[in-house]
């Protein structure tokens, strides 16, 4: 068994991937991988998907071990939804800047200023924040969640851009938190105009975490899994993708007869890219970096997550 990084560095990608798959089979481990992971990690996936899909699969998992290749809040979500499982997060310092933009003191103060409002938290939040809200959502079901919750005012944390997108589809008053995704905020109107000129027949699809002025001028808005489905079902042969560049690898692999280009320069999430093959291998070898969530926080957060899963 390989336990030394120097030895692991001498292995090929194929050899290390084979070791990981062998260990996963021996330990009956389920490997969940987010769409933004590097190609070598995507290739390991038992399930490759977006936040909502991976949350559902965590609940459904029959395996005793889950290896979660994504950022920290995703691994925490898996542990909350599957508390009887051992959840391994191969790179525990892979966090989410947006999730860290919400603080409990500020959220509680905002709730006090709007006592009739219900709180919807994007799943891109840390566990302690999830424990403080009424329901969670993902970019896939945010509109349905807001429309379904029994309140005319909705405090929406942490992404102001997703909040703005939801406001387009509801008469309810959305009270946004001032958080954002640093990756999606980097897309610009100038980039949209440039790709329109270069690829006039391409379909431009972007994530709802993009700025409103981007959403105003593109063709489709979708979650990462929504983009996967759109690419499969559309008759278009060229697609411009406005999200983290990791998704383009999956889109191209699954649709070899179509072409996919980043909206402007490829936008990379450094935290999503932190997980490498060596980290997954060592996590399985050593059962290291087991995710733990305080029991009281987990119990309260579970209610908000269970409610989220009612909206498909």
- Tens-of-pLDDT digits for all 312 residues of the chain? 344 454 566 788 999 999 999 999 999 999 999 999 999 999 999 999 998 899 999 999 999 999 999 999 999 999 999 999 999 999 999 999 999 999 999 999 999 999 999 999 999 999 999 999 999 999 999 999 999 999 999 999 999 999 999 999 999 999 999 999 999 999 999 999 999 999 999 999 999 999 999 999 999 999 999 999 999 999 999 999 999 999 999 999 999 999 999 999 999 999 999 999 999 999 999 999 999 999 999 999 999 999 999 987
- Predicted confidence at residue 169, as pLDDT, reads 98
Last residue of a domain, one of 130, 154, 181: 181
Please indicate, yes or no, if residue 305 is contained in any of the structural domains: no
**Phi and psi at residue 241, in whole multiples of 5°?**
-115, 115
Instruction: Answer whether residue 267 is part of any domain.
Output: no
pLDDT at site 3: 45
State which residues form the domain around 218: 184-262
Tell whether 38 and 76 lie within a shared domain.
yes
Range 18-54 burial, b when 16+ CB lie within 10 A, else e? ebbbebbeebebbbbbbbbbbebbbbbbbbbbbbbbb
> Has residue 310 been placed in a domain?
no
The answer to the question of residue 34 being in a domain is yes
177 and 194, same structural domain? no
Q: What is the pTM of this model?
A: 0.92
Q: How many domains does the chain have?
A: 3
With beta carbons less than 8 A apart as the criterion, state whether 296 and 127 touch: no
> What spatial distance separates the first Cα and last Cα of the chain, rounded to whole Å?
42
Report the alpha-carbon distance of residue 187 to residue 164 in Å, rounded.
Answer: 16
For residue 233, the domain's CATH number is 3.40.50.10800
The whole-number pLDDT of residue 52 equals 85
Locate all alpha helices (DSSP H) within the chain, ordered by sequence: 5-9, 13-26, 39-42, 51-60, 72-81, 104-113, 127-130, 142-148, 160-167, 189-198, 212-215, 224-233, 246-254, 277-286, 295-308
Are 90 and 121 in a shared domain?
no
Furthest C-alpha separation in the chain: 60
Dist. CA 268–CA 2, nearest whole Å: 30
Residue 253 located in a structural domain:
yes
Q: Which of 158, 181, 204 is the last residue of a domain?
A: 181
pLDDT of residue 1: 36
Check residue 221 and give its pLDDT: 98
Is residue 115, in this structure, part of any structural domain at all? yes
174 and 193 part of one domain? no
């Amino acid at each position: 068994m390989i336990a030394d990084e120097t030895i692991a560095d001498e292995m090929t990608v194929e050899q290390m991937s084979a070791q990981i798959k062998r260990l996963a089979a021996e330990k009956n481990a389920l490997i969940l991988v987010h769409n933004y992971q590097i190609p070598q990690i995507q290739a390991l996936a038992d399930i490759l998907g977006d936040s909502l899909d991976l949350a559902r699969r965590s609940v459904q998992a029959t395996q005793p071990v889950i290896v979660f290749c994504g950022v920290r809040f995703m691994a925490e979500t898996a542990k909350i939804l599957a508390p009887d499982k051992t959840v391994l997060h191969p790179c525990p310092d892979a966090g989410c800047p947006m999730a860290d933009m919400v603080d409990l003191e500020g959220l509680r103060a905002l709730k006090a200023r709007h006592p009739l409002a219900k709180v919807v938290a994007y799943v891109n939040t840390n566990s302690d924040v999830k424990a403080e809200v009424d329901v969670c959502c993902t970019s896939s079901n945010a509109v349905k969640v807001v429309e379904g919750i029994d309140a005319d005012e909705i405090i929406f944390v942490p992404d102001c851009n997703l909040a703005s997108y939801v406001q387009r589809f509801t008469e309810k008053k959305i009270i946004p938190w001032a958080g954002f995704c640093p990756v999606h905020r980097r897309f610009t109107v100038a980039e949209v105009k440039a790709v329109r000129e270069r690829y006039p027949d391409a379909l431009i699809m972007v994530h709802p975490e993009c700025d409103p002025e981007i959403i105003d001028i593109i063709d489709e808005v979708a979650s990462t899994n929504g983009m996967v489905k759109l690419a499969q079902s559309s008759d278009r042969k060229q697609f411009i993708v406005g999200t983290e560049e990791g998704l383009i690898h999956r889109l191209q692999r699954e649709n070899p007869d179509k072409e996919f280009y980043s909206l402007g320069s490829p936008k990379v999430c450094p935290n999503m890219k932190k997980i490498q093959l060596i980290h997954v291998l060592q996590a399985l070898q050593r059962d290291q970096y087991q995710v733990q969530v305080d029991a009281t926080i987990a119990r309260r957060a579970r209610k908000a997550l269970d409610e989220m899963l009612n909206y498909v």
